[in-house]
A and B are shown apart, each in its own frame.
Chain A
Amino acid sequence: MDLFLQLLSTGIMLGGIYALVALGWTLIYKCSGVLNLAMGELTLIGAYVCLQLYIWFVPLMGIITGFIVALLGTLMVGFALGILTNHFFLRKMIGEPVLSVIMVTVGISFFFRGIVFSIWGTDIRVFNPEIFDITPYKLGNLMISQVNLWAFLAAMLLLVVFVAFFKYTRWGLSMQACADDEMASLSLGVSAKFVYAIAWAIAFMAAGVGGTFLGNINGLNIQISHLGLIVLPAVVLGGLNSIPGAIVGGIVIGVLQNLADGYISQFTPGGVKEVAPFVFMVIFLLFKPFGFWGWERIERV
């Protein structure tokens, strides 16, 4: 039972990060209809940018302030990168077939990966000096590591901020309108180009923060981009175009991954953690092809 609770709590915390990244993915899909396979690289680039800023800022301001400033810097860089990516690559693909758009995002992922690794190399990098203490908090028999807890809290904070942004601000409302019915929102004076740009910017920002915390947990290397790919099962689980679905899907995938790792991996040579979300997703798709909250599209000839 202790093991189960332990795995569950770790899973929920990890899932919080996945939920944040999945939110970015769903946003792009909802607003612009782009199925984005570059999510792994968005997390990767955000994580490395944050690492670099951290290395620059820590000698100036100390660990905690340095990290917060680096995180804010990552958000700004992510915003800029998102708008640039949309402007140079995605905007020209409006109205093209689905496969072409998907492959453009694949192209983007290779492009960014190449750039990241030629700048920072492929060796594993860690945030040094460490931001979070390694001694875990204790809650009865439960051990909660500080990194996980803070990452979860930060992810939740950002999720709340983003959801509030959609609900209460002008930009957010225009994004909702565009996601709901693009043609109608265009005729009411919402700029679709602007909405696409903001969607990409938010995706970059969310992925960057997610990547930073994943990097804090495991260290930074190509593995981060694989973890970024795990958001794909998460969004499939929740249904592609549902923001609550993305959040729940992220947490469910995080929990499942940890449970599989805890219970199954002792019977196998290894690698369960990476595969479990995908296996689960395939089985799930056979029974519920549109996820929990996805729209079931009715097609006509």
Chain B
Amino acid sequence: MSYLPCGIYHQHYNEDHAWWQTRFVWGKMILLGIVLFILIPTFCGDYLLSIAYKIGYTILAALGVQLLIGYCGQITLGHAAFVAVGSYTSAMMILYIPWPQFLIDAGLVYPISLLAAGITAGLWSVLFGLPSARVKGFYLIMTTMAAQWITVPFIITQYVSRIGARGHYFSLPPGTISAGPWVIDTDRKIYYLMIVLVCLCFFGVANLLRSKVGRAWIAIRDNDIAAEALGVNIVWYKLVAFFVAGSIAGIAGAFWISALYFVSPEHFEFFYSLWWVGVILIGGAGSLHGVIFGSMFMVLVEEILRNGLVTLGALMPGFVLVGKFDYFRDSAFGLAIILFLIYQPKGLSYRYWQIKNYFNLWPFSY
């Protein structure tokens, strides 16, 4: 709940429905836009930009998880499967479909494959969301986990990866990934692609959440039996939630091939499914801000740990943890989740809300 400053009265409903209701918020958002679209790409080096688009990828992937867990109450532990489906769909379409020359010239191949990836991943996600009509809670967790085990280690590793006798990797030749007239080949362009996709997905999800669909999801999350009694078609809305979440995951996957230039099943292991659930729990379940805060926290902490260990390795070559970053990261991630859930169960977004509230009411906080 946000408070309007005193002296502002709404006279039309569309003022009430507006996203940004006051001048101050408009100014804040424009400032944010300037920082995101102009200042960061101009003044940050390649390394910082690469961290930024990693954060963006985490946001895109965790957004679907947030939608399912935080808003629809359907706990999923197999989201990496849908990201993988999106990624592979996009890569295969780029590589194997004989595109007409004018589409290639116009640079529409990658955007079309991006959309197709979203749809395919969404449908794949609906397929594994179907049991949600019958089961919930832990049993649903098991079916989403089954989605992960069936998709990534079996279908993708054993069948899809072997198409064209490629072995393990699908690498994309330089120049094949282009959005319109821009060939995505530098970190700066990847960053721009990321920021556009993140903004679009956020715009879509935030608007869905305040529509009929979103209210139905929230009703299902809070009490599915009560929602059904009130006339919400819970099976349909659950499947819609699975479709939207899967589509965003697919888009995330299709975006990620532009940053990596190749795909391999290693990027979509079970670990990542859990990692994204961790992201939204640390950020705060049931909050779109939480996705952003959680992603920034996780990626930045990972980078800080990595750099810290590298520096430590330079200082003390015999130190135990040097060269074991992956395991150390696993442990730190596990501990972070546990500590957050014990000491800050509402996540970072709750902390943000408290800070904002403090300043809203400052200096008279009563």
Interface residues of B in 34-79 (CB under 8 A from A): 69, 75, 77
User: Contact string, B301-330, partner A, CB cutoff 8 A, digits 1/0?
Assistant: 000000000000000000011001011111
Please indicate the chain B residues that have their CB under 8 angstroms from the CB of A282 in the complex. 128, 131, 142-143, 146, 150
Choose from A93, A106, A240, A300 the contact partner of B334 (Cβ within 8 Å). Answer: A106
Q: How far is the CB of A184 from chain B (nearest CB, A)?
A: 24
Q: Judging by beta carbons under 8 Å apart, are B149 and A114 in contact? A: no
Q: Judging by beta carbons under 8 Å apart, are A108 and B158 in contact? A: no
Q: Judging by beta carbons under 8 Å apart, are A117 and B334 in contact? A: no
The answer to whether the Cβ of A227 comes within 8 Å of any Cβ in the partner chain is: no
* Interface of chain B: mostly helix, strand, loop or mixed: helix
Interface residues of A in 272-288 (CB under 8 A from B): 272, 274-275, 278-279, 281-282, 285-286
The answer to whether the Cβ of A174 comes within 8 Å of any Cβ in the partner chain is: no
Q: Judging by beta carbons under 8 Å apart, are A301 and B341 in contact? A: no
Of B99-107, B273-281, B358-366, the one contacting chain A is: B273-281
Q: Judging by beta carbons under 8 Å apart, are B341 and A269 in contact? A: no
User: Contact string, B75-88, partner A, CB cutoff 8 A, digits 1/0?
Assistant: 10100000000000
Choose from A96, A272, A301 the contact partner of B225 (Cβ within 8 Å). Answer: A301
Choose from A103, A108, A299 the contact partner of B278 (Cβ within 8 Å). Answer: A103
The answer to whether the Cβ of B345 comes within 8 Å of any Cβ in the partner chain is: yes
Interface size on B, residues (CB 8 A): 51
Choose from A92, A240, A279, A301 the contact partner of B138 (Cβ within 8 Å). Answer: A240
Interface residues of A in 97-135 (CB under 8 A from B): 98-100, 102-104, 106-115, 117-118
Which one of A233, A236, A299 has the highest number of Cβ atoms from chain B below 10 Å of its Cβ? Answer: A236
Q: Judging by beta carbons under 8 Å apart, are A93 and B342 in contact? A: yes
The answer to whether the Cβ of A136 comes within 8 Å of any Cβ in the partner chain is: no
Please indicate the chain B residues that have their CB under 8 angstroms from the CB of A281 in the complex. 142-143, 146
The answer to whether residues A108 and B338 also contact, given A118-B324, A118-B331, A271-B153 and a CB cut-off of 8 A, is: yes
Interface size on A, residues (CB 8 A): 45
The answer to whether residues A110 and B331 also contact, given A279-B150, A285-B135, A299-B225 and a CB cut-off of 8 A, is: yes
Q: Judging by beta carbons under 8 Å apart, are A278 and B149 in contact? A: yes
User: Contact string, B231-255, partner A, CB cutoff 8 A, digits 1/0?
Assistant: 0000000000000000000000000
Q: Judging by beta carbons under 8 Å apart, are B331 and A114 in contact? A: yes
Choose from A103, A104, A118, A285 the contact partner of B328 (Cβ within 8 Å). Answer: A118
Bound complex: CA A271 to CA B159 (Å): 10
Q: Judging by beta carbons under 8 Å apart, are B150 and A278 in contact? A: yes
Please indicate the chain A residues that have their CB under 8 angstroms from the CB of B159 in the complex. 269
Bound complex: CA A281 to CA B337 (Å): 29
The answer to whether the Cβ of A268 comes within 8 Å of any Cβ in the partner chain is: yes
Please indicate the chain A residues that have their CB under 8 angstroms from the CB of B229 in the complex. 301
Q: How far is the CB of B308 from chain A (nearest CB, A)?
A: 16
Q: Judging by beta carbons under 8 Å apart, are B321 and A118 in contact? A: yes
Q: Judging by beta carbons under 8 Å apart, are B146 and A100 in contact? A: no
Q: Identify the closest chain A residue to B73 (Cβ).
A: A99
Q: Judging by beta carbons under 8 Å apart, are B337 and A271 in contact? A: no
Which one of B143, B225, B332 has the highest number of Cβ atoms from chain A below 10 Å of its Cβ? Answer: B143
Q: How far is the CB of A206 from chain B (nearest CB, A)?
A: 20
The answer to whether the Cβ of B109 comes within 8 Å of any Cβ in the partner chain is: no
Q: How far is the CB of B104 from chain A (nearest CB, A)?
A: 33
User: Contact string, B144-164, partner A, CB cutoff 8 A, digits 1/0?
Assistant: 011001100110011100100
The answer to whether the Cβ of A270 comes within 8 Å of any Cβ in the partner chain is: yes
Choose from A102, A110, A269, A278 the contact partner of B75 (Cβ within 8 Å). Answer: A102
Q: Judging by beta carbons under 8 Å apart, are A103 and B153 in contact? A: no
User: Contact string, B22-34, partner A, CB cutoff 8 A, digits 1/0?
Assistant: 0000000000000
Interface residues of A in 232-247 (CB under 8 A from B): 232-233, 236, 240
Q: Judging by beta carbons under 8 Å apart, are A269 and B162 in contact? A: yes
Q: Judging by beta carbons under 8 Å apart, are B75 and A99 in contact? A: yes
Q: Identify the closest chain B residue to A279 (Cβ).
A: B150
The answer to whether the Cβ of B10 comes within 8 Å of any Cβ in the partner chain is: no
User: Contact string, B114-139, partner A, CB cutoff 8 A, digits 1/0?
Assistant: 00000000000000100100110111
Q: Identify the closest chain A residue to B130 (Cβ).
A: A286
Q: How far is the CB of A23 from chain B (nearest CB, A)?
A: 17
The answer to whether the Cβ of B206 comes within 8 Å of any Cβ in the partner chain is: no
Please indicate the chain B residues that have their CB under 8 angstroms from the CB of A272 in the complex. 154
Q: How far is the CB of A29 from chain B (nearest CB, A)?
A: 9
Choose from A99, A268, A289 the contact partner of B134 (Cβ within 8 Å). Answer: A289
Please indicate the chain B residues that have their CB under 8 angstroms from the CB of A4 in the complex. none
Q: How far is the CB of A253 from chain B (nearest CB, A)?
A: 13
Q: Identify the closest chain B residue to A272 (Cβ).
A: B154
Please indicate the chain B residues that have their CB under 8 angstroms from the CB of A107 in the complex. 278, 333-338, 341
Which one of A99, A236, A240, A289 has the highest number of Cβ atoms from chain B below 10 Å of its Cβ? Answer: A99
Known: A104-B341, A107-B333, A110-B334. 12 other contacts (CB 8 A): A35-B138, A99-B69, A103-B281, A106-B277, A107-B278, A107-B338, A114-B331, A117-B324, A118-B321, A275-B149, A275-B154, A278-B145
17 contacts between A and B (CB under 8 A): A35-B138, A89-B338, A98-B138, A99-B75, A106-B274, A106-B334, A110-B334, A117-B324, A232-B145, A233-B142, A269-B158, A274-B149, A275-B153, A281-B143, A282-B143, A286-B134, A289-B135
Q: Footprint of B on A, CB under 8 Å?
A: 35, 37, 89, 92-93, 96, 98-100, 102-104, 106-115, 117-118, 232-233, 236, 240, 268-272, 274-275, 278-279, 281-282, 285-286, 289, 299-301
